Amino acid sequence: MNTPNYTPDMVSRNVKPLGNGVIEITRYNVSYFKAILVWPWFIIVSVITLNDIISQTGMYNDIQWAISVDWALENTWRLVRGGMQVSGIPITPETYLEFKMRMLNKHPDAIYYGWFYILFPIFWFVLLCLPNGRPVRIDAKRRLIYFWWWGKFYIKQYPESLKHNEQRLIYFLQTDFHSSWLNREGMSCLIMDIPFENPECNKKASPALGAYRPVCEYQSYYLRDFIVDYLKSPNPDKEFAHYFKKEKRIWQDYFGWFYRFHLIPNFGYNEKKTEARIQAWLDKNV
């Protein structure tokens, strides 16, 4: 038997055992999206906004207009009122209202700009708060691979005969490795096609699997190897138990909160609903 390339430190950060031959594979997308796009923009926008507020320059005046027009005009009105007092011009409540209307007509877009400057960092913060993607589940005893996506259930079952043929099992899983100019091959994610529960719809989902940031170079390849070995095993809970225990801390652990930060609870599985859909699918397809 060949020594596997995957290690407990890689597997334990990508796969969660649920017992009875069921595991969950973490999703790559949301953490990658936050680390590459959301966090940098949130930090940049927040720093610029805070700098202008502290120094009371740039967008600060527009923010004042959005929060309170009276607050934004306070200093200007003080100067205008002082000039009127020196000139002996009477000041009445209507005088300020007229001044306020003139300034609103002179700066018609200030309020809109102000709300944009307020809402823009909030928008990026909301994206940071999004939950991480629901994991994909693999049930080795029933030979099932399934998950929920936007309220739709995706599932497939590999034949018993494939458990003893590694190449055919890999082909059946329909896996691929996705990389881009921001994400080279060594840091790619594992893509697995899973068809919609109703085969007549001819729809499928292709979730991206694996922890971001990847624990090691070519994590996606090793993750696929682990999944294949797990599915081939007659007793995966016992055979692979030691792979679910971390051996040491690695540098990615110190930044894990950064990639997986969220304030909205992660989407889990409604066990009763999921089991009902699995049984309904098995009744129709087995």
The pLDDT, as a whole number, for residue 126 is 96
Tens-digit pLDDT profile for residues 98-143: 999 999 999 989 999 999 999 999 999 999 999 998 999 999 999 9
Q: What percent of the chain has pLDDT over 90?
A: 74
Mean per-residue pLDDT for 254-261? Answer: 84
Mean per-residue pLDDT for 236-241? Answer: 95
CA pair distance 98, 108, nearest whole angstrom: 15
The pLDDT, as a whole number, for residue 2 is 56
Mean pLDDT of the chain: 92
Is it the case that residue 259 has pLDDT exceeding 70? Answer: yes
Is it the case that residue 240 has pLDDT exceeding 70? Answer: yes
Residue 13 is encoded by which pair of tokens?
């950060």
Whether residue 8 contacts residue 231, with contact meaning beta carbons closer than 8 Å, is answered with no
- Sheet bearing 15-19, strands edge to edge: 15-19, 22-25, 136-139, 144-149, 152-157
CA pair distance 103, 282, nearest whole angstrom: 70
Tens-digit pLDDT profile for residues 63-72: 999 999 999 9
Tens-digit pLDDT profile for residues 168-225: 898 999 999 998 777 788 899 999 999 999 988 889 999 999 999 899 999 999 999 9
Whether residue 277 contacts residue 197, with contact meaning beta carbons closer than 8 Å, is answered with yes
Tens-digit pLDDT profile for residues 139-154: 999 999 999 999 999 9
Cα–Cα separations (whole angstroms), residue 110 to 101, 144, 206: 13, 57, 45
The pLDDT, as a whole number, for residue 1 is 45
Strand-pairing partners, residue 178, are 189
CA pair distance 228, 239, nearest whole angstrom: 13
Cα–Cα separations (whole angstroms), residue 284 to 56, 199, 204: 67, 11, 18
Domain boundaries, the chain: 8-27+136-259+273-285, 38-129
Unique residue bearing structure tokens 């007509």: 105
pLDDT band at 3, cuts 50/70/90?
A: low
pTM: 0.85
Strand-pairing partners, residue 191, are 176, 208
pLDDT band at 164, cuts 50/70/90?
A: confident
Sequence-distant (≥ 6) Cβ neighbours of residue 120 within 8 angstroms: 45, 49
